[in-house]
Amino acid sequence: MESKPAVKRREKALAVSRTVRKTPSANRRKKERRESRIIARRTAAAVFFAFLFLTPVVLTITNSFMTPSEINANYGAIFAKNDTGGKVYVSETVNLKFIPDMVTFSQYASVLFKSPAYLIKFWNSVIYVVPIVVFQLLVAALAAYGFARYSGRVKEFIFFAYIILMLMPYQVTLVPNFLVSSFLGILDTRWAIWLPGIFSPFAVYMLTRYMQRIPYSIYEAASIDGAGEWQIFSQICLPLCRGGFASIAILLFIDYWNMVEQPLILLSNEEMHPLSVFLSRINAGEISLAFAVAVVYMILPILLFIYGEESLVEGIMYQGGIKE
């Protein structure tokens, strides 16, 4: 329904446009030219940003195919300084090269076969992230149904508390996590990373948002037809939220794949650290390997992105509460 003033305004506008249309087309052509100029300028800006955004990724990938000597020649001046060992040829200047002189897979070969440390750290990352994503979704699916199906003053208060908790930075939440882990005796074990991750409220918030969008009448109808709560949950609610699971899983994955704060505080044993922390400790002698490891490390997220970009975008929008 449109209000009366709006209709009137539009009529007036149409009248104006009619008079505009009557004037010779020079006016319009001028306008068109201006518009195409704006679009050209914006395209240029987009290209510029795309270049900035992609360059670091592309450089990392192409550098991973260079031979160690080429890497040393290019970046020796930067990374070799804490190298106390034998004499390596180090050039004075730094070169940034997109295309390797000689494409080689030797770095990947040594990552895979000669330096097991990296593979172990990679495996650590997988071991931390996958259970957290799976079980956080599981716990959250149940809880979100509890929040979305019936609401009351108490539940609204609890849900608000979840939101606040979700927005708390690690500087705050890690202190309680640390205390509980030491109380339960799981400090320095994988459980110290898993359990707080699994019960983290992010997925609860997101899934509740998804489930609240399901019309209440659907629940009601199923309940009138005699479906129990578990049946409504598993046969009606969950299938309707399938898209939501994909979106949230991607957001969770990239967050935990990147984790740095938790292992630093909860795991004193560096053997158990994930690759995200370990990559920053690569010593100068292995700098050429580092590029290959970096690429291996980004393969999973990039694959997820290629296959799930739409889910990711949808997830971000839900987080914004825009698509309610």
Whose Cβ is closer to another protein: residue 119's or residue 298's? Answer: 298
CB neighbours of 153 closer than 8 A, spacing ≥ 6? Answer: none
Beta carbon of residue 190, minimum distance to another protein (angstroms, whole number)? 15
Closest CA to 319 of 186, 173, 210: 210
Beta carbon of residue 146, minimum distance to another protein (angstroms, whole number)? 4
- Number of helical (H) and strand (E) elements in the chain, helices listed first: 16, 0
The secondary structure of residue 104, as a DSSP letter, is -
Whether residue 91 contacts residue 76, with contact meaning beta carbons closer than 8 Å, is answered with yes
Cα-to-chain-centroid distance, residue 255? 5
Whose Cβ is closer to another protein: residue 14's or residue 26's? Answer: 14
Whose Cβ is closer to another protein: residue 87's or residue 224's? Answer: 224
Give residue for tokens 């040829």: 89
Beta carbon of residue 302, minimum distance to another protein (angstroms, whole number)? 6
Whether residue 245 contacts residue 137, with contact meaning beta carbons closer than 8 Å, is answered with yes
Beta carbon of residue 92, minimum distance to another protein (angstroms, whole number)? 8
Beta carbon of residue 86, minimum distance to another protein (angstroms, whole number)? 21
Beta carbon of residue 225, minimum distance to another protein (angstroms, whole number)? 4
Beta carbon of residue 160, minimum distance to another protein (angstroms, whole number)? 9
Whose Cβ is closer to another protein: residue 54's or residue 126's? Answer: 54
- What's at 262, amino acid-wise? Q
193: its two tokens: 């990373």
Beta carbon of residue 47, minimum distance to another protein (angstroms, whole number)? 8
Cα-to-chain-centroid distance, residue 148? 26
How many Cβ atoms are within 10 Å of 66's Cβ, its own excluded?
A: 25
Whose Cβ is closer to another protein: residue 117's or residue 180's? Answer: 180
Whose Cβ is closer to another protein: residue 109's or residue 163's? Answer: 163
Whose Cβ is closer to another protein: residue 65's or residue 297's? Answer: 297
Beta carbon of residue 88, minimum distance to another protein (angstroms, whole number)? 15
Q: Return the ∠ at Cα 211 (arms to 208 and 212), rounded to 5°.
A: 85
How many Cβ atoms are within 10 Å of 76's Cβ, its own excluded?
A: 22
Whose Cβ is closer to another protein: residue 115's or residue 223's? Answer: 223
Give residue for tokens 């009448």: 217
Compute the chain's Rg from CA coordinates. 28
Closest CA to 67 of 29, 100, 96, 113: 100
267: its two tokens: 């795991």
Closest CA to 55 of 102, 14, 20, 96: 96
